[in-house]
Amino acid sequence: MVRAASALLLVLFLAGWEVYCRVAGVSALVVPLPSAVLRTLWDGLAGGYLLPHLWVTTAEMAMGLAVGCTVGFLAGVLLAEVPVLRRLFYPYILASQVVPKLALGPLFIVWFGFGMTSTVVITALICFFPLLENTMTGLQQVDPNKRELFRMLRATRLQTLLRLKIPSGLPVILAGLRVAVVLALVGAVVGEFIGGRQGLGASIIAAQGMMDSTMMFALFIVITVLGMIVYQAAAGLERWLLRRPWKG
Amino acid sequence: MSFVSIEQAGYGVPSGATILDRIDWTIEEGEFHALVGRSGCGKTTLLKLVAGLLAPSTGTVRIQGEPVRGPGAQVGFVFQAPTLLDWRTVLDNLLLPVSLTRRPQPADRRKAEELLDLVGLSGLEGRYPSQLSGGQQSRVALARALVTEPPLLLLDEPFAALDAITREELQNDLLKLCARHRTTVLFVTHDIAEAVYLADRVAVMEGGRLRHALPVPLARPRGRDVRYSPRFNALCLELRRVMDGADSGVALERAS
Ligand SMILES: Nc1ncnc2c1ncn2[C@@H]1O[C@H](COP(=O)(O)OP(=O)(O)OP(=O)(O)O)[C@@H](O)[C@H]1O
Ligand SMILES: [Mg+2]
């Protein structure tokens, strides 16, 4: 019922937009017609123009996400487990939080050249921090009683990590993953703005160069849908990993 | 040689407060001792000293003559809170002490199921802790401590969350099991009747000190009629008087 209402809201909004643009004669350069955007989108997908770009962005995002999350998780485990390292690195981690990672993009282009590599590096860097933070927090938040239980059962450090700390910190870690997934898309697209030859972000820049607002809107839609799909996938993974058979 | 001997053991926190003050106590092999006292008097702390979870700041705790330097394999501990792993089934929780040392065998699984049956939870092995009531959770925690058949059991109010009838059943089962394996037990409780029913000797604590030791000369095995016998009631009354005395600060005989 509510779902139908919110779908109706979208239809009304698009209809209002279309009518207003036609009646007021707004230039397609400023705000394109929704119908034109949908047509461009359809042509781009059916004609195959958008697909390689979609593929490139998805690949960059996936690689950046995989690398950034893996390294972030492992670093988080290391810092949570070794207090000396934590004290040593924590000021720098805090400082690096406020560095706008995207601003490093031009530097990465100098280092890694135009193309996928620098975008993957930016994406990985952006995904690294939420995983690092949440892994550290999650592993340190273990119930002291459970820790004492493992001590009483003479569990080794590795057993305590694998069988107590990681499972009990998993909800926090996965919340970090959900944040990372959203940031990964931003990272990939903006990374392409700066140094991409291909991909959805690079296409936006290309469309801008040709003053093709309709294409830009079509690309926004593709990016939004891609974001929704990966977010849902991450949320689904989270639900699956944290499933507790409450239903019995 | 006593199985457990606590010699002048004290425990203080860094802030300077003394939580335990020069405790002396011995438990012979196969004996069942109860520790009673008001909330906050240091019972849990004493139990953790014996377990090796805390190190005494003065004195020593010995198990079979050896000074305790950390949690040992021969000690089973039931914590005051059930402390189950929420992401594991009841059966996996029960087998945790085993699975931390080796891969559980079918025999272990049978053992775990027997124990579940004993604590009245058969058929629930596939459930998760969140699907159990508080009392059921504490029974799982009890069974978990029993699964490795440790020669020394330390129990911290394991039956506090149970109704009177289940509690009596579990008391009997615990006594049976401990007699069968000649387990040495130190059992913390708030409940005077429980202490008298279970124990060979009851230690009364107050404000971090052991104030009194009360022997319980009731014959074993103890059954239902014992609970309603005049001897039993007289002992409960005596223990109650001792605790009242301890509360008013009158130092009674110190076991030393
Ligand atoms: N880490 C700590 N720092 C300071 N004081 C503590 C600490 N842990 C316990 N205490 C204090 O030590 C005293 C004894 O605590 P303990 O947990 O042994 O009590 P208890 O006899 O088991 O009580 P209960 O019956 O309520 O479980 C309490 O007064 C408590 O406030
Ligand atoms: Mg306690």
**Chain A residues with beta carbon closer than 8 angstroms to that of B87:** 167-168, 170, 244
Q: pLDDT band at residue B14, thresholds of 50, 70 and 90?
A: confident
Q: How far apart are CA B125 and CA B88, in angstroms?
A: 10
pLDDT of residue B251 exceeding 70: no
Q: How far apart are CA B19 and CA B9, in angstroms?
A: 11
Strand order in the sheet with B75-78: B75-78, B152-156, B184-189, B32-37, B201-206, B209-215
Both structure tokens of A222:
């593709």
pLDDT of residue B250 exceeding 50: no
Tokens 């002048």, residue located: B8
- ∠ CA B186-B191-B193, nearest 5°, is 95
* Chain B residues 56-95 within an 8 A CB cutoff of chain A: 71-73, 75, 77, 79, 81, 83, 85-87
The DSSP bridge partners found for residue B212 are B204
Q: pLDDT band at residue A127, thresholds of 50, 70 and 90?
A: very high
- In CATH, what number does B76-186 get? 3.40.50.300
Mean of per-residue pLDDT scores for chain A: 90
Domain boundaries, chain B: 1-26+42-72, 76-186, 191-256
What is the distance in A from the centroid of ligand 1 to the CA of A89?
A: 36
B43 lines ligand 1 (CB under 6 A): yes
What average pLDDT score do residues B215-242 get?
Answer: 91
Q: CB distance from A239 to chain B under 8 Å?
A: no
Q: What is the pLDDT of residue B253?
A: 45
Tokens 């009304």, residue located: A12
**Chain B residues with beta carbon closer than 8 angstroms to that of A143:** 83
Q: Do B71 and A145 touch (CB under 8 A)?
A: no
pLDDT of residue B36 exceeding 80: yes
Domain boundaries, chain A: 40-241
Q: pLDDT band at residue A28, thresholds of 50, 70 and 90?
A: confident
Amino acid found at B220: R
Nearest alpha carbon to residue A176 among A125, A214, A138 = A138
Q: What is the pLDDT of residue A194?
A: 87
CA closest to B53 among chain A residues: A152
Q: Where are the alpha helices (DSSP H) in B84-229?
A: 90-94, 96-99, 106-118, 134-146, 164-181, 192-198, 224-227
Both structure tokens of B54:
């805390």
Q: What is the pLDDT of residue A246?
A: 44
Both structure tokens of A21:
């643009």
pLDDT (tens digit per residue) in A197-234 = 899 999 999 988 988 888 999 999 999 999 999 999 99
Nearest alpha carbon to residue A43 among A199, A201, A35 = A35
Distances (CA, A) of A157 to A32, A134, A152, B181, B219: 60, 20, 13, 31, 46
Q: How many CB pairs under 8 A join A and B?
A: 48
The predicted complex's ipTM stands at: 0.90
Q: Do B100 and A163 touch (CB under 8 A)?
A: yes
Length of chain A in residues, anyone?
248
Q: What is the pLDDT of residue A245?
A: 54
Q: What is the pLDDT of residue A132?
A: 94
pLDDT of residue A248 exceeding 50: no
Both structure tokens of B222:
């103890």
**Ligand at shortest distance from the CA of A144:** 1
Both structure tokens of B193:
């009747």
Q: pLDDT band at residue A140, thresholds of 50, 70 and 90?
A: very high
The DSSP bridge partners found for residue B75 are B152
Q: Which three-class secondary structure state does DSSP give residue A65?
A: helix
Least confident of A163-167, A192-196, B100-104: A192-196
Mutate to test the pocket of ligand 1, among B43, B78, B156 (most ligand atoms within 8 A of CB): B43
CA closest to A242 among chain B residues: B87
Cβ atoms of A153 and A93 within 8 Å: the answer is: no
What average pLDDT score do residues B126-146 get?
Answer: 92
Distances (CA, A) of A6 to A2, A11, A12, A60, A227: 6, 9, 10, 33, 19
**Chain A residues with beta carbon closer than 8 angstroms to that of B77:** 152
B139 lines ligand 1 (CB under 6 A): no
Q: How far apart are CA A58 and CA B103, in angstroms?
A: 42
pLDDT of residue B20 exceeding 50: yes
pLDDT of residue B249 exceeding 90: no
**Ligand at shortest distance from the CA of B190:** 1
Mean of per-residue pLDDT scores for chain B: 91
Q: pLDDT band at residue A242, thresholds of 50, 70 and 90?
A: confident
B132 lines ligand 1 (CB under 6 A): no
What is the distance in A from the centroid of ligand 1 to the CA of B194?
A: 22
Q: pLDDT band at residue B247, thresholds of 50, 70 and 90?
A: low
- Residue B168's CB is within 10 A of a number of other CB atoms, namely 17
pLDDT (tens digit per residue) in B196-226 = 999 999 999 999 999 999 999 998 889 888 9
What is the distance of C-alpha A213 from the center of its chain?
Answer: 25
Q: Which residues contact B136 (CB under 8 A, 6 or more apart)?
A: B121, B124
**Nearest CA owner, ligand 1 atom 1:** B13
Rounded percentage of chain A residues whose pLDDT exceeds 90: 65
Which residues have beta carbons under 5 A from ligand 2 (an ion)? B 44, 80
Instruction: From the options 1.10.3720.10, 3.40.50.300, 1.25.10.10, 3.40.50.10490, give the CATH code of A40-241.
Output: 1.10.3720.10
Q: pLDDT band at residue B244, thresholds of 50, 70 and 90?
A: confident
Q: CB distance from B123 to chain A under 8 Å?
A: no
A161: alpha, beta or left? (left if phi > 0; alpha if psi -120 to 50): alpha
Best mutation target, B63, B69, B85, to test chain A (most A CBs within 10 A): B85
Least confident of A61-65, B175-179, B242-246: B242-246
pLDDT of residue B246 exceeding 70: no
**Nearest CA owner, ligand 1 atom 29:** B40
What is the distance in A from the centroid of ligand 2 to the CA of B78?
A: 11
Q: What is the pLDDT of residue B129?
A: 93
Nearest alpha carbon to residue B181 among B219, B151, B136, B153 = B151
Amino acid found at B150: P
Q: CB distance from A240 to chain B under 8 Å?
A: no
SS (H, E, C) A168-191: HHHHHHHHHHHHHHHHHHHHHHHH
Q: How far apart are CA A234 and CA A178, in angstroms?
A: 6
Rounded percentage of chain B residues whose pLDDT exceeds 90: 77
pLDDT of residue B100 exceeding 50: yes
What average pLDDT score do residues A48-70 get?
Answer: 93
Which of B77, B81, B87 is the closest to A152 by Cβ?
Answer: B77
